[in-house]
Amino acid sequence: DVKVTQSSRYLVKRTGEKVFLECVQDMDHENMFWYRQDPGLGLRLIYFSYDVKMKEKGDIPEGYSVSREKKERFSLILESASTNQTSMYLCASREGNEQFFGPGTRLTVL
């Protein structure tokens, strides 16, 4: 059973803070993804990684960066958090074409 875990369920940060969201998967998947989930907009891809140290921008990468130092861990970084980054963040890993999602981190930026 694939397990994708995210470091926090809820996070409250202040504008300008640097924010780290961590994601770990235990099934040795090569591909990992970060999405944000907003009402009426669905899931939008921020970044993805297809191997250790390899990353590609998704559809909305502005204001974000990522890190993949180990195969099982994929981190999303908000360099300077802004209020428009308040959202639900979902991490996923992929086997074949099926995605396995983490529980999500609800980030509020004040």
Partner 1 sequence: AQRVTQPEKLLSVFKGAPVELKCNYSYSGSPELFWYVQYSRQRLQLLLRHISRESIKGFTADLNKGETSFHLKKPFAQEEDSAMYYCALHTGGFKTIFGAGTRLFVKA
Interaction of residue 90 with partner 1, rule CB under 8 A: yes
Pairing of the two strands 98-101 and 42-51: unpaired
Question: What distance in Å separates the CA atoms of residue 51 and residue 62, rounded to the nearest whole number?
Answer: 21
Name which position in 40, 53, 62, 69 contacts partner 1 (CB under 8 A).
Answer: 40
* 91, 32 contact by CB (below 8 A): yes
Q: Which is nearer to partner 1, 35 or 74 (CB)?
A: 35
As a whole number of angstroms, the distance between CA 93 and CA 98 comes to 9
Minimum CB distance to partner 1 smaller for 68 or for 81? 68
CB nearer to partner 1: pick between 7 and 17: 7
Residue 93 within binding range of partner 1, rule CB under 8 A: no
